[in-house]
Structures are given as C-alpha cells and as structure tokens.
Amino acid sequence: MELLEIAAEARTVFSNEPNVVYVSAPCVIVGDVHGQLRDLRKAFSLGGPLGQERYVFLGDYVDRGAWSTHCAALLLAAKLKFPDRVFMIRGNHESREINGTYGFLGELKSKFPQYNVEGGHNMGGIFCTEGNTLWDAFNEVFDQMPLAAVVDNSIFCVHGGLSRSVQYIEDLSLIHI
C-alpha cells in the first residue's frame, strides 16, 4: 500500500472516531515517539505484539528524529490493521505549524522528492498547498485524530494538557479542528 493510500484510509478511520476514545485495560500507554523508530520498536518489544496488546499513543509521532515518516506510517498502518487495539491521539506536533518547522516537512521533501510540488493542486483527492503532497496528506490525518483517551473510565490521557475553557471531558466533543 502506498503512503497516500495509508493516509487516505487512516483519515477515514479517524474521522469516524470521537474526540475522546474510551479504551479498556490492560493497555500499553506510549508517550512521544518523535520519529525515533528504534524507540518505537523497543516499545513494541516491551509492551507486546501489535494486535495482541492494546496500545494508546499520546501524540508527537513526528519531528526531531530521523524516521518521522516511518514511525507515522507504521503507526497508521497498525491503526488500519488493528483499529480496536491501536489508539492514537493528537499531540502538538500533529499540526502544520509545528511539523512544518521542526523537521517533518523537511524530511518528506528530502526523502520523497517525487511528492514535492510548486503551488497548490489536487493530487489523489488531497489538495496540496505547502510544497509536499505527503505532508498535506499526513496533516489531514492528524486533523482527524482524537484529542484524548480514557482508560477504564479512570485514567485520562491527553498529550500536553487542556485549555482552561475545557472543564469536562464532554467539552472535548465540541472541539472541531
């Protein structure tokens, strides 16, 4: 499966999830990945095989590390294969402003120059405006990701906190990105 196809399918899956996903324990909760493929593989070796264990990933899949594309693609493929066992929420690096500055866009332009474009155009149902179609596709997926997870109705998981205007978990369902 091509990266654009993975992104398109993942966008559909996430668009059908609520802003808050509810997960049953036991599960493995994984923090920032930041393009560290070796660390991600270590999390799987410690936590158990994909498909057998439940995983909740708390965001920041890209930037800083040298393997952002690989980490994001692996996690999205895992989500597609095991949608009821792999849960991903959005971190602050799952935004154009951040990942366009801290390495993800540059990695995609360097490793996948065939997706670089001049100006805006429509490619495979994804309108590219920022210079790389894959970058736009991944960010459209990120836009659809849940904002929080609740494990066993007792553990509240977000990436880095919430606005003071969010007083109840239910308020998260009112946020539309």
> Of the listed 34, 70, 93, 159, which one is catalytic?
93
- Residues 6+ positions from 58 with CB-CB distance below 8 Å: 29, 30, 31, 32, 89, 91, 149, 157, 158, 159
Taking the alpha carbons at both ends of the chain, their separation in whole angstroms is: 28
**Phi, psi of 108, deg, nearest 5:** -65, -40
Cα–Cα distance list, 177 to 50, 147, 155, 170, 174 (Å)? 29, 10, 24, 16, 10
Q: Which helix (H) or strand (E) holds 3?
A: helix 3-15
- Give the residue from 68, 40, 8, 14 showing the smallest Cα distance to 177: 14
Asked if 121 is an active-site residue, the reply is: no
Please identify every residue annotated as catalytic.
93
